[in-house]
A and B are shown apart, each in its own frame.
Chain A
Amino acid sequence: MELHSQSGHQLLDLIKNKKTTAKEVWESLESRVRAIDTKVNAYVRKDEKREPSLKPDSQQEGKLMGLAVTIKDNICTTGMNTECCSKILKNFSPPYDATVINKLKTNAASIFNLKANMDEFAFGSSTENSAFMATRNPWDLDSVPGGSSGGSAAAVAADEAIWALGSDTGGSIRQPAAFCGVVGLKPTYGRVSRYGLIAFASSLDQIGPLTKDVEDSAILLEAIAGHDQYDSTSVDIAVPDYKKSLGSGIKSVKIGIPKEYFIEGLDPEIKKIVGEAIDQIKKLGAQVQEVSLAHTEYAVAVYYIIATAEASSNLARFDGVQYGLRVEAGKDSSAGMIEMYKKTRGSGFGQEAKRRILLGTFVLSHGYYDAYYLKALKVRTLIKQDFDHVFKELDCIITPTSPSAAFKIGEKVEDPLKMYLSDIYTISANLAGIPAISLPCGFTKKGMPVGLQILAKPFDEETIFKVAHAYEQATPWHKRKPEL
């Protein structure tokens, strides 16, 4: 097997045993990207000159031993542009590294010197909203990879990355992981520092790993997790040794299946595959029972009020004054500054960004705030209480990650509502702040991957890893590779 096809922990073993070096792995990745990324389009700005950021041999002492990590284009990296795949951040070169980047470096990782494609500002579920180009699903180049971390997911699936970081606001790690047949984890809100993640919705955003298997997910989370004085929403709880939670069996684990997730709108083929996965988990000895998350039906509505409200505020800073794109007002204009704002934002933001800014501005406006934003906050609390209630008795919850497998490029671009519904199963975890993983649980007849979602109580990523790893080791899905 070629180096780029291996998982992270396999490569760490090979390096430890002096069978290969981080440099050889890096070179293997580079040649893989050269060979196939013109087809997949996982990476952006490939023609730009940038510093090679492979750690020199002398600095590879540490957990990640110089192995490269692929970074989504909304996580700040020095020496490499960070543009959120938006025209408005054209040529933005951050003067600082995000906390997760510093942590990766402390753990002796190299930062891969290409950034992964994404929906502009993480607004989307297909990576079609990137201002640069659409990424293609490695399992079917006419299908979307999911989004918004579609570049990160496709890169891992196509062996153009060993592993990658994405960000998840309503499913942006898990849904593309499901579509591309990889493992994607959204950690508990506050588990990973958001400092340096260009914000979409601050109360929902969380950075997490996209990996080839569950063990890699545990390794990468451990490397990036922990309290950060620069992020007041990060929580000061010790980071466990996540690898210890792997391989211990799931005999006593109590699992809930929420009935609200298996209703109309769920593709029957997905329903069947997820059902088989649940049976498999039962066979492994877990106790499975049906539960109710009564407020599930409101999640999408609540999410699109809170997320867009916060986004409209977070995106206010892109005004052409300090960085990124500026479109001058023109000399004849009397109201130069306002014109400059309008022209810059008018031409810098894509259609979906504009839609969300308008929606968010509306729900925060005087006279509408109480009816929309405040009401949404209240329902958010109810959704969180549903989970609290279930987790009093049970250890985790299992659902499908998305109601369908990857859809075709262009299929949903004209219908934002349909697009929004592809996140219907992932949104609740962000609203409740709880951790959730997606891992491969089978393939459709057309050969497209299907994702299984496991959710647990806040800061209990260990249970997620335990159950996910047990299932993964009992099934062949994570070993299958797309033909490219």
Chain B
Amino acid sequence: MTNKVWVYIDQFKGAPNPASWEALGLAKTIADLMNSGVTAVVLGSGMDAVVQKAFANGADSVMVCDDATLTDYRVEPYAAVFTKMVSEGKPEIVFGATSTRGRDIFSASAADLNTGVIVDATEVVSQDGALVATRPVYAGKLLSKVVCKERRPQMILLRPRAFPAPVETVGKSGEVIKVAAVLDENSIVTKVAEYIVEEGQVSVDSAAVIVSGGRGVNGPEGFEPISKLAAVLGGAVGASRAAVDAGWIPYVHQVGQTGKVVSPDLYIAVGISGAVQHQAGMRTAKVIVAINKDAEAPIFNLAKYGVVGDLFQIVPALTEEFKKRLGK
């Protein structure tokens, strides 16, 4: 049996996107109000572990399409089966995590299903029979409240780390509904040749801790002390646009309006002045620490803790300090 509230579980090569569990947590809260359960949707190949994890995170049933054509993410086969599932199962609400794949699949299927998509929601409340979502617009300078009033399902992608993740209950299970793929390999025009992945790096997208460098690091070698601090804290390395444009670090690390929008628990801005465009990418971080030699830098208006000084002395000292404290 499928429920009125669904959650799409985003995964890459079998590793679930942790923000999917946050979506599952919210789905449970909303479903409770409707006296409904939650159905998780899992698409991929070799998905048994992901299905188990969906149950552990609170799914009441899991609808899965486990098929070789879904081994690599491609929008055509993913959206085709997703559209079919939704049009037949007729959920009221479908949640997911905002990600490159989430945006692709939800918007493609919403076009197929003639409904709307709300993306990057940071708050969701039930009001007059519809869900009202709050989402940042204009690079986070403004907030908007949006609603998909009449068309169904309501498809809402949540901003990662904006909602709490549920506590896992290992060993929980429920009904598994198997669905066949819609497209066969011959009818899928996109073929994946390879992946180019930076090994061993924590991605800024879902990192709980980010240490970012800006113009003040003075060159590519300036990212060495930053990477060391990030490694000790188990965090990701971020960068400002100035550092990326100077060619000191690849674009994938850029935080800000023309980079990634992140909301870690801890954001350490090193040698970053904090232009509004950078703030757009990190202002929702829980605790912001700024290390900068310029006491007038705008980043200090946003930071909770600040150090005015030479980053090349402070950052290595901080790395040593955390090594001691964290026993590394």
**Do the two chains bind?**
no
Chain A residues within CB distance 8 Å of chain B: none
Chain B residues within CB distance 8 Å of chain A: none
